[in-house]
Amino acid sequence: MRIFVTDSLKKLFFIDVDINKFSIVKELLRYYDIPTELVIVRKNGEIVTENVPITEDISLDIIRHLDLPKLSTLPVLRQKTKDSIYIKAVQKFDTNKNKITIFERELNKKDFINLFENTFLDTIKKYDMIPKHQKIGVALSGGKDSVSMALIIGKYFKKLGNPDITTYTLEGWGQEQENTYRYAREIPVKFDFKHRVITTEEITKAFHLNKKYEKVFEEIVKTKKLTPNEKTLVLAQTQRRMVEITAANDGIYNLFFALNKEDLLSEVILTYTTGHLAFSLPVRPVAPFTYYYPLAFLSKKEVAIYLNLAYPQYINQEPSQLVECGSQTAQFHIKFCDNLFEIWPGIEYELFSAYKKITAYMKDKIVLSKCRNCGSTLVDESNDTSKLMCGGCKIYKKLGFIK
């Protein structure tokens, strides 16, 4: 069947449509990568929605002057390799030649491991993540991201200038036999890193909880008084703050966290959809600490493939608990980021460098305060420092675990 299309220059052309392939117009638009906001759908000349079935009397008006056929099928330069297991794509804009090209590189196992490790090491170098003669704290939960981070630091220890590394892991309670926790204990031994296990007593004390942290944790997991987002937030914030407190006791203020590309881009999206002030990425100054994110240019999938190929002995982590999965909104942000990488591969390079500039303008606006319960550094947007508490402590208070 032939569907007639008028473009914004009033030129008429047609698409030959296999009606067995699509039942409604929206599916056809999706197939040809045409956003519905670019098209007015008409049936017999009258405007209808894109959810109508495809029939002979359907026509499409494209309402902007975009060269859709070209934009939807950008040229791809593919570097082929035998036995490829992964494709790394980057989109490049050549404004002088008025041309956009997607560069795709097929990678076999060896290429993949090299590219992964080099991206990690380049990020450390480019952002000066290992300051000379300074101690580094590495948050090591035993999950895939933090395990990859610790393994590469260990493998390239000399190349990184023999940094003084201490890893930090939260004590497992009843989890000592589990793989995730076992990895967190084994890896520091393997590389002779200093290792600190943060105990649940230390958490109880640091957050001034009126019950043992094990009990508090159990209740947070079970309670219906908290949203999924609050549950994820309080657990994540507790872990992060405990790494800070323990590291500061060891005189360590440079902290490595294993947030990957999607995790960090989600934060960028959150800044732009809430308007809250934010610190830069992938190096984040949260006085008196500096956080470093060396996995900033690597995705969750790349981390998983890397471990599978390079360190298959560390891939059997226990499944995430539901409380770690976040709200639907947070999950949507992650999916949105992955969709974005699909539409514009390599956008993270542009976005993170732009974000660095933008957050530099914000820097002067940021007033720092401290949480009155746990001492965590806060961006104060309220101008009321008297009652200030971090998000995590507010939740502990809401549940009656602190005064």
Contact positions vs Zn ion (CB under 5 A): 371, 373-374, 376, 390, 393
**Distance separating alpha carbons of residues 215 and 91, to the nearest angstrom:** 50
170 versus 390: smaller Cβ distance to Zn ion: 390
Residue 33 CB, shortest distance to Zn ion, in Å, is: 46
Residue 390 CB, shortest distance to Zn ion, in Å, is: 3
28 versus 371: smaller Cβ distance to Zn ion: 371
CA angle, corner 42, sides to 39 and 45, nearest 5?
A: 135
Residue 402 CB, shortest distance to Zn ion, in Å, is: 9
305 versus 393: smaller Cβ distance to Zn ion: 393
Whole-number Cα distances in Å, 393 to 159, 224, 374, 379: 40, 18, 7, 15
5 versus 390: smaller Cβ distance to Zn ion: 390
244 versus 302: smaller Cβ distance to Zn ion: 244
Residue type, 208: H
Contact 136, 163 (CB under 8 A): yes
> What is residue 386's three-state secondary structure?
helix
**Distance separating alpha carbons of residues 392 and 107, to the nearest angstrom:** 42
150 versus 233: smaller Cβ distance to Zn ion: 233
* φ, ψ at 295 (rounded to 5°): -95, 15
129 versus 374: smaller Cβ distance to Zn ion: 374
**Distance separating alpha carbons of residues 242 and 139, to the nearest angstrom:** 10
Residue 207 CB, shortest distance to Zn ion, in Å, is: 7
Computed from CA positions of residues 130, 132, 137, 142, in that sequence, does the dihedral angle turn out positive or negative?
positive
Residue 83 CB, shortest distance to Zn ion, in Å, is: 51
Burial class (CB in 10 A: 0-12, 13-18, 19+), 360: exposed
Residue 363 CB, shortest distance to Zn ion, in Å, is: 23
**Distance separating alpha carbons of residues 231 and 270, to the nearest angstrom:** 18
203 versus 371: smaller Cβ distance to Zn ion: 371
Q: Which of 197, 242, 239, 193 is nearest to 220 (CA)?
A: 239
* φ, ψ at 103 (rounded to 5°): -100, 120
Q: What does the DSSP 8-state code read for residue 258? A: -
Residue 372 CB, shortest distance to Zn ion, in Å, is: 8
Q: Which two tokens stand for residue 365?
A: 């606006």
Scored b (16 or more CB within 10 A) or e, 377-392 reads: bbbeeeeeeeebbbeb
Residue 89 CB, shortest distance to Zn ion, in Å, is: 41
